[in-house]
Amino acid sequence: MITKLVLAMRNFPQWLVAQLLFVILKLLKLLPADAAIEFADRLVRFVGPRLKRHRLMLTNLRNAFPEKSEAEIAGIALKAWGHMGRQMAEYVFLDELFDFDPNQPGSGRVEVSGIPIFMDLLENRRPFIVFTGHTGNFEMLPVAGAAFGLYVTVLFRPPNNPYIADMVFNFRRARMGKLVPSHAGSSFHLARQLEAEQGVGVLVDQKFKKGQATTFFGRDVRTNPLLAKLVRQFECDVYPARCIRLPGNRYRLEIEPKISLPVDGKGRVDVNATAQMLNDKVESWVREYPEQWLWYHDRWGIKNMLD
């Protein structure tokens, strides 16, 4: 009894944060989609700079863009908080927001670039990997695939808050098909999907303490070697994909042509060089739309230095 009480007290701050988030999401649901998204943008732009994570965001931006002025850095940071708010509101309306009609391209909120690639994957089943980064509404990519029957098993890292993690998992599972939480055995789940000639989706810009030694924006980071190792085993195609937020609460989903991975002297996929290639691709996306990436994420492992 005492143990349960102590555990409950320890979890109370996380429970409280989760309940506050649930209330905000329910209130957003009372509004039309556009009004909710714009309101969430303004709300998080107000709250974000007052949070402890804002300092990390500014430091990350300064390190990534040393050529930019403080005013430019502050402007990107403020817009990035706004995009965080949009992501929150878009969760509530994701079913409504994804309205792409292949028979009437350009008629809805969502436009898609790379439709021939998408159709080829749909009609000619084979193992493949799609990778992306935390830019734009990255959640919309597997939703788009599932909407048209191209189910991709998605590897994801659950939020640290267990109450929010449960909500996010249930939401994603209902809209995105198969999900694999990132843990010690997740690679075996993905391998089984590829072995069955199915698709796999991975986010490649997450912090990974035991990964390959690489760089991102010219600074040392560790990158997950999983994608390269899976390609070594299954010789599957690899496609970059991303979501870009457009003005007017519209979105562009892009799936790019398959990429050729670097090989080592023995003709095998070079794991470290591939990890660097993935970082370079995500960096090019982030440089194009810096405000749409999650700068509050401790990608470079510097948070403890700021505390």
Contact of 239 with 258, CB cutoff 8 Å? yes
Q: Given this model, what pLDDT does residue 215 score?
A: 97
Contact of 285 with 64, CB cutoff 8 Å? no
Tokens of 44: 């998080």
pTM listed for this prediction: 0.90
Q: Given this model, what pLDDT does residue 12 score?
A: 67
Rounded distance, CA 248 to CA 100, Å?
16
pLDDT tens track of the chain, all 307 residues? 545 444 445 666 787 887 888 888 888 889 999 999 999 999 999 999 999 999 999 999 999 999 999 999 999 999 999 999 999 899 888 888 888 877 777 778 999 999 899 889 988 989 999 999 999 999 888 888 887 788 888 887 767 777 777 777 676 666 666 777 776 677 888 889 999 999 999 999 988 888 899 999 999 999 999 999 999 999 999 999 999 999 999 999 999 999 999 999 888 999 999 999 999 999 999 999 999 999 998 999 887 667 6
- Secondary structure class of 298 (helix, strand, coil): coil
Rounded distance, CA 100 to CA 255, Å?
15
Among 286, 253, 276, 275, residue whose Cα is nearest residue 94: 253
Residue 131's Cβ-count burial label (10 Å; 0-12, 13-18, 19+) is buried
Alpha helices in 115-270 (DSSP H): 115-123, 140-147, 162-176, 186-195, 226-234
